[in-house]
Amino acid sequence: MTPETDWADSPGVVVLPSGAAVRGRRIGDPAAVPADFALLLAGGPRPAWPHRRIRWPDFWVPVDRADALDALREALRRARAGERVEVACRGGTGRTGTALAALAVLDGLPAGEAVPWVRAHYRPRAVETPWQRRWLHGIGA
């Protein structure tokens, strides 16, 4: 298998509307296939690969909206360029699911479709709170 095939088959990998692939996972889980870039949405172990942290409290939305959108856009740009990008939080569901849904919105998916999309393609309980759902409606492509 090539690294690209291994990545596409990694648990948690979702394909965005443009065809770019992004992996969601829990921060503490071992990654069988390393990423090229990670967005970390919680404290915890740092990966050996390049990463960026977003201040994002559990069950809430990012503390700094502009910084979060900048980081999400960077992750999307990297994923579209073929880099292996991942998004991770402590549990891998609420914040990670919201960030994956946000990436899909930034990638062209209508905000109203983001929660059902991420629940169908990533985890059924992704995007855990009403304010996370509302936050998705406030971002634009």
Q: Are 24 and 96 in contact (CB under 8 A)?
A: yes
CATH code of the domain occupying 3-137: 3.90.190.10
Q: What string of DSSP letters covers 12-24?
A: TEEE-TTS-EEEE
What is the C-alpha separation between 139 and 141, in angstroms, rounded?
Answer: 7
Mean pLDDT, rounded, of the chain? 90
Q: Are 64 and 56 in contact (CB under 8 A)?
A: no
Summarize pLDDT for 47-104 with one digit per residue, the tens. 788 899 999 998 889 999 999 999 999 999 999 999 999 999 999 999 999 999 999 9
Q: Are 72 and 106 in contact (CB under 8 A)?
A: yes
- pTM of the prediction? 0.93
Residue type, 129: T
Longest dimension (CA), the chain: 41
